[in-house]
């Protein structure tokens, strides 16, 4: 929401009261929320609906993903009394015990890694702890159950590259 509505300008946002959002710090506190996954969501490239999974069409998704992650990190830095970035279960407990909301990061589809396991590993280093296989469109790794522009299943579920990417996610602890 912040990247889209405010062009990523955190200074324009009071995270305690965000009228255009479903979530703000006040509502999280009222709800006694101890931890939250912030989604660095980026829409699938329209080319995916035509089963064009070439790397070039995913660079914009990767750029936007990096911007989203930057917004999340900046939000955590701006509200240190409320939020703490958590990369491990120990850090989740430390945040909870200190009265802060554990902030974890996820992304919604492997289209956001620009067809690269090294990008996936670097996103992990930035704090991303979950990645869904596909969001609203098929990608190189898996078919989506929600077909944008009525695209048909391409892989019949998970592709061989998808199996490899899942192995890599398991290896790094994602």
**pLDDT tens column, 91-119:** 999 999 999 999 999 999 999 999 999 99
DSSP character string of 50-65: GT---GGGGHHHHHHH
Q: DSSP strand E in 12-60: where?
A: 35-39
pTM, entire model = 0.85
Looking at the DSSP bridge assignments, the partners of residue 83 are 101
Rounded Cα–Cα distance for residues 159 and 172 (Å): 20
Looking at the DSSP bridge assignments, the partners of residue 128 are 105
Q: What integer pLDDT is reported at residue 13 of this predicted model?
A: 74
Closest CA to 65 of 137, 136, 140, 127: 127
pLDDT higher than 80, residue 48: no
DSSP H or E stretch at residue 106: strand 101-107
Q: What integer pLDDT is reported at residue 6 of this predicted model?
A: 46
State the Cα torsion 165-109-36-119 to the nearest 10°: 50
Q: What integer pLDDT is reported at residue 9 of this predicted model?
A: 59
Q: What integer pLDDT is reported at residue 79 of this predicted model?
A: 96
- Tokens read off for 91: 């850090």
**Mean pLDDT value across residues 22-30:** 88
Count CB-CB contacts under 10 A for residue 138: 24
Q: What integer pLDDT is reported at residue 124 of this predicted model?
A: 98
| Annotation: CATH topology of 35-172 | TIM Barrel (3.20.20)
Report domain extents, the chain.
Answer: 35-172
**Mean pLDDT value across residues 16-28:** 76
Rounded Cα–Cα distance for residues 68 and 22 (Å): 17
Chain centre distance of CA 34: 19
* Most confident of the following: 43-47, 150-154, 156-160: 156-160
Q: Which band of pLDDT confidence, cut at 50, 70 and 90, is reported for residue 138?
A: confident
Q: What integer pLDDT is reported at residue 3 of this predicted model?
A: 45
**Mean pLDDT value across residues 130-155:** 80
pLDDT higher than 80, residue 148: no
Chain centre distance of CA 111: 11
């Amino acid at each position: 929401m912040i990247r889209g509505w405010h062009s990523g300008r955190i200074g324009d946002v009071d995270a305690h009261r965000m009228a255009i959002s479903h979530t703000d710090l006040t509502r999280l506190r009222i709800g006694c929320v101890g931890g939250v996954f912030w989604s660095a969501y980026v829409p699938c490239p329209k080319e995916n609906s035509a089963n064009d999974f070439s790397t070039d069409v995913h660079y914009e998704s990767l750029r936007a993903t990096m911007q989203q992650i930057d917004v999340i990190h900046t939000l955590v830095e701006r509200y240190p009394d409320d939020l703490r970035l958590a990369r491990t279960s120990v850090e989740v407990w430390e945040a909870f015990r200190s009265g802060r909301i554990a902030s974890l990061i996820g992304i919604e589809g492997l289209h956001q890694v620009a067809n690269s396991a090294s990008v996936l590993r670097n996103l992990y280093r930035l704090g991303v702890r979950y990645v869904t296989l596909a969001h609203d469109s098929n990608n190189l790794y898996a078919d989506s159950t929600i077909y944008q522009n009525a695209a048909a299943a391409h892989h019949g579920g998970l592709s061989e590259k998808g199996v490899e990417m899942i192995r890599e996610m398991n290896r790094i602890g994602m």
